[in-house]
Structure 1
């Protein structure tokens, strides 16, 4: 067996050992000089660094099945790769965070990890209509300008950020909180396949790992660690995206946020971040200027409230509005108003928010 393969097996074996996380593994490597040296130590010496239970796990065969499964997974496609902290393809910026993942499962375009211009886009799983449009629009324009979009393939803002990047035939990296063979949520299976073909799927979790709640904050540190900046598109004041913003501050990454309506609960997290010093983002050009990215020169054409003379659109404003409230503002009979709203919805200028409410879409 080649020395390179033996090294990989030892890395996988230690990384998959129960009780050994990133911090413990780093501690062991620092104490004994290498992963190989860890396995040369007797129980008594290991016990000086880790607990007796963990030391016993290290010297047992507890992780060999997971190692064999991972190696078999890698051989099934030339687009699959197991990366360790000492692999040449392992991204430098991720290696420098406080608790870097020891092993990464990567499927897709590995070269994306070497891209310097990467931006994390995060947000709520329950976005408003405008949040969806913002995620797609910003991701598309950033991708058109050779910025790689990094997100978590969750429902909501993550999904639409990936979709926006792919609309521009640009690059995107999806960092998931499960094993690379577990496609979660089920509604994103098609998107998962598209990203594995055109972008990159990345995870630190062993094959078969289910979507446990504690995995996702852990995954967020990788999303941010890979990126130059973290853009919060839409978030509740206590949303999971605030965890990502916290990681960004700890890692010295730029934190950016898109403001929203004062009546939108899903904008309050962004407003809180802006109050705390996050960069207020209104256009993709703001991101290019803040990070000194070079844009392609394409001008963003953003619709403003004054771009129309349509009385219904003008009466709707920026927030969701009920049919009754809209009727009170306008001198339309009920049937005429419903017909007009249907026309605007079919043309993509408004969206039905459910519950009898509509919202204008600004693209």
Structure 2
């Protein structure tokens, strides 16, 4: 079995336990000891507790995992850290995803510029107009809009890209067969055909609450900057902003009504140094200013 397939199998068996997966890869980059070693050798090779090594050995030998993996590899595109096609923008971020499953047009990953767009799931009445004002011109200019397919701002961002015949990437907090929220099934179906949907979870893995902060690092990592449309203070959007800053990406926020709780997070970000944005042309100028550095970076 080729090493990328061994990695996909291990990823599935571990159910996304990235720290364990990273440690095993560090100790055994080719995963040569993975499939045919008894549990006590797995303990030694990978520094695992006995009970965990026993379970891992049993799971790796379970043919149902391999059968499901082979079916998923026929259904979806798989990207691993071993592959040349792995997204260049993600290779250099802290804690990059080791495995990605993709549905749709994988070529979109190479289309620049890409901007990450995030915000509240409960937007104001003005949010749709804000999204159209900022993102419709970018989509029409061929930009790629990256978001998380959640309710609210995320969904608006994807629809803006579709409306402008642009490109969009949705990064999910669960597997590709576990669409969440269910109300976005129709949107998912559109993106999975003409656009691109990504997940670092295997296709049948259900979304968990902690998955969404995890996937936010992928959303921010794929864009040259992050745009916050609307956000409350202490919201989940702040996780994406923190990831963006950790990754060396610029953050921009749209100002709003000072009396509106759902834009208070944007004002907080601006007061702490985020760029304040009034026109899409500012983002275009920002890309032109950083384009050579970004292309060299990736």
Q: TM-score, normalised by structure 1?
A: 0.74
1:52 aligns with 2:50: yes
Q: Secondary structure at the match of 1:255?
A: strand
Corresponding residue for 1:238? 234
Shift in Å at residue 250 of structure 1? 0.9
Q: Does 2:189 align with 1:217?
A: no
Note closer, same or farther for the CA distance 1:106–1:55 as it changes in structure 2 (3 Å cut).
same
1:197 to 185, 193, 197: 193
Could you tell me whether the CA contact under 8 Å between 1:137 and 1:164 is conserved in 2?
A: no
- Report the number of matched residues: 288
1:147 equivalenced with 2:147 (yes/no): no
Quick one: higher RCO (CA 8 Å, sep 6+), 1 or 2? 2
Q: Answer yes or no: is the 8 Å Cα contact 1:23–1:99 preserved in 2.
A: no
Q: Once structures 1 and 2 are overlaid, which stretch shifts more, 57-66 or 27-36?
A: 57-66
Distance 2:34 2:16 in 1: 12
> What is the RMSD computed on CA atoms of the aligned residues?
2.2
Question: Do the aligned partners of 1:29 and 1:38 also contact (CA within 8 Å) in 2?
Answer: no
Cα distance in 2 between the residues matched to 1:82 and 1:51: 30
The 5 A counterparts of 1:316-331 are none
Q: Are the equivalent residues in 1 in contact too, given 2:15–2:201 (CA < 8 A)?
A: no
How far is 1:220 from its partner?
0.8
Alpha-carbon offset, residue 13 of structure 1 = 1.5
Q: 1:293 to 1:67 in 2, by over 3 A?
A: farther
* TM-score normalized with structure 2 length: 0.89
Residues 14 and 20, structure 1, Cα contact 8 Å, conserved in 2: no
- The structure number with the bigger radius of gyration is 1
Does the C-alpha gap of structure 1 residues 160 and 12 become closer, same or farther in structure 2, counting only changes over 3 Å? same
| Structure-2 change in CA distance of 1:46 and 1:70 (3 Å) | closer
Larger fraction in helix: 2
Q: For the residues of structure 1 that align with 2:16 and 2:86, how far apart are their CA atoms?
A: 20
1:119 maps to which residue? 115
Alpha-carbon deviations, 1:110-143, whole Å to 9, x = none?
0111224111100000000111221233222111
In structure 2, stretches of 5+ residues that fail to align are 292-298
